[in-house]
Structure 1
Amino acid sequence: MKKLFFLIILGAVLAGGFLAMNWWGDGPTGEDGTVIVAEGTSLSGLGEQLREQGQLEMSPTLWRLGTKLFGGGDPIQAGEFEIPAGASAATILGIVQDGRTVQRTVTIPEGLPSILVQERIQALEHLEGDAPLPAEGTVLPQTYSYQRGESRAALVGRMETAMSDLLEELWPTRTSRSVVNSPEEAVILASIVEKETAKADERRMVAGVMSNRVRTGMRLDADATTIYPITKGKPLGRRILLSELRDPNPYNTRAIAGLPAGPITNPGRDSIAAVLDPAETNALFYVADGSGGHVFADTLAEHNRNVAKWREIRRKRGE
Structure 2
Amino acid sequence: MDQLHTALGSLKLLRTSVGQIFETLGGGIRIEHGEEHGENKFLHELQELLTLTNTHLRDLESTINSLSTPPAPLTLGNTSFLTQELSQDRQALYSQLVNSYKWIDKVHEYGSIASTVLHSNSLKRSFNNNSNKRRRPLVSCHNIPPTHFENVLTSNCLSDMTINITRPHARNAIVYITLGRVLKAALIFKGIMIEWVTVKGYDETFDDDLWAESRHQVFRKVQDHTHSAMLHFYSPTLPDLAVKFFMAWLHSYIKLFSEPCKKCGKHLLNSYPPTWRDFRILDSAFHEECK
- For the criterion TM > 0.5, the same-fold answer is no
Q: Which TM-score bucket, shorter chain as reference?
A: under 0.3
Structure with more strand by fraction: 2
State the TM-score, normalized to the length of structure 2.
Answer: 0.22
